[in-house]
Amino acid sequence: MDHFLYRDGALFAEDVAIADIAAAVGTPFYVYSTATLLRHFHLFDEALGGMDHLVCYAMKANSNQAVLRTLAQAGAGMDVVSGGEYLRAKAAGVPGDKIVFSGVGKTAAEIRLALEGGIRQFNVESEPEMIVLDATARAMGVTAPISIRVNPDVDAKTHAKIATGKSENKFGIPIARAREVYAMAAAMEGLQIIGIDVHIGSQLTDLEPYRLAYQKVAELTEILRADGHTITRLDLGGGLGIPYARSNEAPPLPTDYGKIVRETLGHLDCEIEIEPGRLIAGNAGLMVSEVIYVKEGEGREFLILDGAMNDLIRPAMYDAHHDIIPVVEPAPGTEQSPIDIVGPVCESGDTFAKQRLMPPLSAGDLVAFRSAGAYGAVMASEYNSRPMIPEVLVHGDQFAVIRARPTFDEMINRDTIPSWL
Ligand SMILES: *Cc1c(COP(=O)(O)O)cnc(C)c1O
């Protein structure tokens, strides 16, 4: 459920009309709902109720400072995957002991940054990383708390670009080698083993892969404990999917996910960490765009929008579906006809939807892309020299620009001309 609903024929974000935001900030723009963000966070928090746990929001999904602060104030920790994200989390007021650092390519500089600022744990993804982490921590005279990310070799049944838990993926160490790698870690003075980490992929719409992975984590916990390691925390990753096409998708609920966690791992007396990103931010955001032209092509019509692939790349990158709805609600019984919905960028890949059934629209009308709150603004670029679009946060009947659209001068002046030109 989200807080983007029609009221008297006009699309609202909570108590603010989308058309009013468009008039104030111009199109295209992203808009996020505070109530929806918090609702999704609390769903997870409650799903793990009764277990010692921390929900660490995977901030790569949407790392705007205002979004982070909203979640941090509700008690969320953060899962970060770069030094930049670490600093963003700190800047939003997240204490170091609620930040976990994931990612296959942490540099020594990034590791130092996190050790200096405080960190809950590093999720270590390889032996070479472990060696650098150990050396960096020792050089600083500290110990680095770690979980080792194991790759359970389960098929997450999701898009190939976002599946991470098969043995052919670059993530984690093979679970079959876990004992050996934990033994290596235990012998390193700069490291302190805390637990086990697993993350099998993103946009999972089936809970079975989680059950399989978590059963393997449970077995591994017992084995590692028998080997003499102290395992007190299990990081279970993120990846729960959201319904992008509302008419025909029903992804699993956090409560059912929570049940699986309890069933597979509840007996181990471990603190549970989860790292949801998409499910917290995805349906908490829209991208709003204006129709520039309706173009008659050869046998098909094109709806040309002012938003493009550089603003929302998911359709081009993952063949992703986004529901696209008019900001003015069509009258009941309005006939829909198929149309290709495209942006102005000079690539055929700049297509949001092909032959999508839409009500009649004309230049100047506004449309909203649903489920654009995660992996939307954070993946945007200035391709075609299109300025990054603004982000707006709604809270009840208030709204605020939380990232302004740069001016053309600001965009151009970031380049510098070398002395020889
Ligand atoms: C991307 C990622 C997540 C979040 O995935 P979602 O599908 O957005 O929930 C969590 N943990 C790690 C390690 C990730 O790389």
Q: Which pLDDT score is estimated for 147?
A: 98
**What's the per-residue H, E or C state across 158-178?**
CCHHHECCCCCCCCCEEHHHH
Q: What is the pLDDT of residue 171?
A: 85
| Domain 4-31+282-412 indexed as CATH 2.40.37.10 | yes
Ligand 1 centroid to Cα of residue 379, in Å, is: 14
- Contact at 8 Å (CB) between 58 and 235? no
For residue 27, give both structure tokens.
């199109």
The distance from CA 160 to its chain's CA centroid, rounded to whole angstroms, is 17
270 catalytic per annotation: no
Residue 237 CA, chain-centre distance (Å), reads 12
Q: Which two tokens stand for residue 215?
A: 């059963």
**Given this chain, do its domains 4-31+282-412 and 34-280 carry the same CATH topology?**
no
Contact 353, 340 (CB under 8 A): yes
Q: Which one of 40, 56, 79, 125 would you pick to mutate in the ligand 1 pocket, going by the greatest count of ligand atoms within 8 A of its CB?
A: 79
Average pLDDT of every residue of the chain: 96
Domain ranges within the chain, ordered by starting residue: 4-31+282-412, 34-280
pLDDT at residue 26, as a whole number? 98
Distance 371 CA to ligand 1 centre (A): 16
Contact status, residue 311 vs residue 380, Cβ threshold 8 Å:
yes
Q: Got the DSSP string for 162-231?
A: GB--STTSSSSEEGGGHHHHHHHHHT-TTEEEEEEE---BSSB--SHHHHHHHHHHHHHHHHHHHTT---
Given a cut of 80, whether residue 366 has pLDDT beyond it is yes
237 in contact with ligand 1, CB cutoff 6 A = yes
Name the residue with tokens 């079975």.
208
Tens digits of residue pLDDT in 243-302 = 998 877 788 899 999 999 999 999 999 999 999 999 999 999 999 999 999 999 888 999
Neighbours of 75 (CB within 10 A): 12
Task: Tell me, using a 6 A CB cutoff, whether residue 235 lines ligand 1.
Answer: no
As a whole number of angstroms, the distance between CA 114 and CA 372 comes to: 30
Q: Which of 226, 331, 346, 417 is catalytic?
A: 346
Look at residue 160 in the predicted model and tell me its pLDDT: 75
Residue 78 has pLDDT above 80, yes or no: yes
Pocket test for ligand 1, best of 126, 158, 162, 202 (most atoms within 8 A of CB): 202
34-280 folds as TIM Barrel (3.20.20)
Whether 229 lines ligand 1, by a CB cut-off of 6 Å, is: no
Burial of 318 (0-12, 13-18, 19+ CB in 10 A): middle
Please state the pTM of the whole predicted model: 0.96
- Tally of CB atoms within 10 A around 250: 8
* Closest atom, ligand 1, to C-alpha of 60: 1
Q: What is the pLDDT of residues 3-61, one digit of tens each?
A: 999 999 999 999 999 999 999 999 999 999 999 999 999 999 999 999 999 999 999 99
CA of 249 to the centre of ligand 1 (A): 21
What does 232-270 look like in DSSP terms, one character per residue? -EEE----B---SSTTT--PPPHHHHHHHHHHHHGGG--
Beta-carbon contacts of residue 169 (< 8 Å; ≥ 6 apart):
151, 163
Please tell me if the CB atom of residue 151 comes closer than 6 angstroms to any atom of ligand 1.
Answer: no
- The residue with tokens 């979980």 is 147
Does any ligand 1 atom lie closer than 6 A to the CB of residue 276? Answer: yes
Among residues 25, 21, 2, the alpha carbon closest in space to that of 10 is found at 21
**Residues found in the chain:** 421
Say if residue 114 is exposed, middle or buried (CB neighbours under 10 Å; 0-12, 13-18, 19+).
buried
Q: Is 275 in the pocket of ligand 1 (CB under 6 A)?
A: yes
Q: Residues 6 or more apart from 84 whose CB is under 8 A from it?
A: none
Bridge partners for 339 per DSSP? 356
Is the sign of the CA dihedral 193, 196, 200, 204 positive or negative?
negative
How many Å lie between the centroid of ligand 1 and the Cα of residue 415?
33
- Asked whether the beta carbons of 281 and 374 are under 8 A apart, the reply is yes
pLDDT (0 to 100) of residue 164: 76
Query: Band of the pLDDT at 166, cuts 50, 70, 90?
Result: confident
Listed in sequence order, the residues at least 6 apart from 122 whose beta carbon sits closer than 8 Å to its beta carbon are: 100, 101, 106, 111, 114, 133, 144, 145, 146, 147
Tens of pLDDT, residues 126-154: 999 999 999 999 999 999 999 999 999 89
DSSP 3-state assignment of 342?
A: strand
What residues are paired with 32 via a beta bridge?
Answer: 285, 393
What per-residue confidence (pLDDT) applies to 36?
98
CA of 248 to the centre of ligand 1 (A): 24
Q: Given the DSSP bridges, would you call strands 10-13 and 4-7 parallel, antiparallel or unpaired? A: antiparallel
- For residue 173, the model assigns a pLDDT of 94
